[in-house]
Amino acid sequence: MSLKRKHEDITPSNPSAEPPIFRSAPISDRESTFIGLFSPTLPPKDLQHLAEIESASHKVLAWRRESNQQSLTHAKQYVTGHDDDGEKYGGSKVEKVLVRMVVTGSCVVARWYGGVMLGPVRFTHMENAAREAVQKWQDDVVDGAAKKRKVDDDAAEKERLVKVLGKRDQSVTVLRALAFEKEAMAKRAAEGEAPPLPPESVIIDATAAAKSPKVMLASQQAKPKYDDMELSQLRMLEKARDASIAFLLKRIDRAEEQLVPSSTPPNTKVDPP
């Protein structure tokens, strides 16, 4: 497509925000240097007139964008075009790179001519420079998506841990009250203050105990602000809470064992008649 055909997408603009530009590494061959530049958003003429490539002998331009026209099949249509800028057939080579890589945007291959004619290999250099610039953009998109996915995953995990730790704290409060109660009863039984009772007779309403004003006040005063913590801290606290719960369950088991009456009948000594 000739540059003489006007399109709105090749009109220079003055964007307030700097759009992203992705550059290839320089390709040097017999005094000539090629550099590819790609932007998914910058208008073609803006990319072609960047100050950093102003000194280039040729600024071969190509673009590909979605068409505003709709097809009968509702399939996406694309408008492509190019500007050789003195490098005959160069623009079509760069344009084909955009089509093959299925991308929309603008691409310029700047060439600084060193005085030695390169022949057809110059088109290979143009294609490679354009391809690398586009590939850098694609890699950036993939990296950005991966980073966003990690941010979303971390946020979801943090939300989960904040809820889990709140429940773990309640469990620790309930189990601690139950452990203290059973240990106290086991101690009284060992000192002869009360006969050992079966475990089902000493199970208290742990939930009610945890809701007592004294316990609730202590729990509220010591409640950590999980929302303000880093994810790594929350992960460590989850492990710590699980360890605390396991320890309290062992204490409760030991106390219950002490409260179970011995199944061995007492050794009663009978005097002979």
Residue 237 forms part of a structural domain? yes
User: How confident is the model over 239-244, as a mean pLDDT?
Assistant: 92
Of the three residues 127, 146, 165, the one that is the final residue of a domain is 146
Residue 82 forms part of a structural domain? yes
CATH number for the domain harbouring residue 12: 3.30.230.30
pLDDT of residue 204: 46
Rounded Cα distance, 233 and 185, in Å: 37
Does one domain contain both 52 and 121?
Answer: yes
Counting the structural domains of the chain, the total is 2
Rounded Cα distance, 63 and 38, in Å: 9
For 186, the token pair is 């086991």
Residue 1 forms part of a structural domain? no
The total of other beta-carbon atoms located within 10 Å of residue 273's CB is: 3
Tell me the pLDDT of the chain averaged across its residues.
81
Residue 15 forms part of a structural domain? yes
User: How confident is the model over 16-41, as a mean pLDDT?
Assistant: 89
Strand partners, 23: 37
Query: Does residue 36 register a pLDDT over 90?
Result: yes
> In the structure, what pLDDT confidence band is assigned to residue 260 with cuts at 50, 70 and 90?
confident
Residue 36, domain extent: 8-146
Rounded Cα distance, 267 and 273, in Å: 18
Does one domain contain both 165 and 140?
Answer: no
pTM over 0.75: no
> In the structure, what pLDDT confidence band is assigned to residue 189 with cuts at 50, 70 and 90?
confident
Rounded Cα distance, 66 and 7, in Å: 12
For residues 210 and 230, the model is more confident at 230
70-90 pLDDT tens trace: 766 777 888 899 999 989 999
Residue 266 forms part of a structural domain? no
The total of other beta-carbon atoms located within 10 Å of residue 120's CB is: 7
Does one domain contain both 254 and 156?
Answer: yes
Residue 269 forms part of a structural domain? no
Tell me, what amino acid is at 54?
E
Of the three residues 146, 181, 196, the one that is the final residue of a domain is 146
141-178 pLDDT tens trace: 888 888 888 888 889 999 899 999 999 999 999 999 99
The total of other beta-carbon atoms located within 10 Å of residue 132's CB is: 18
For residue 158, CA distances in Å to 166, 218, 230 come to 12, 25, 8
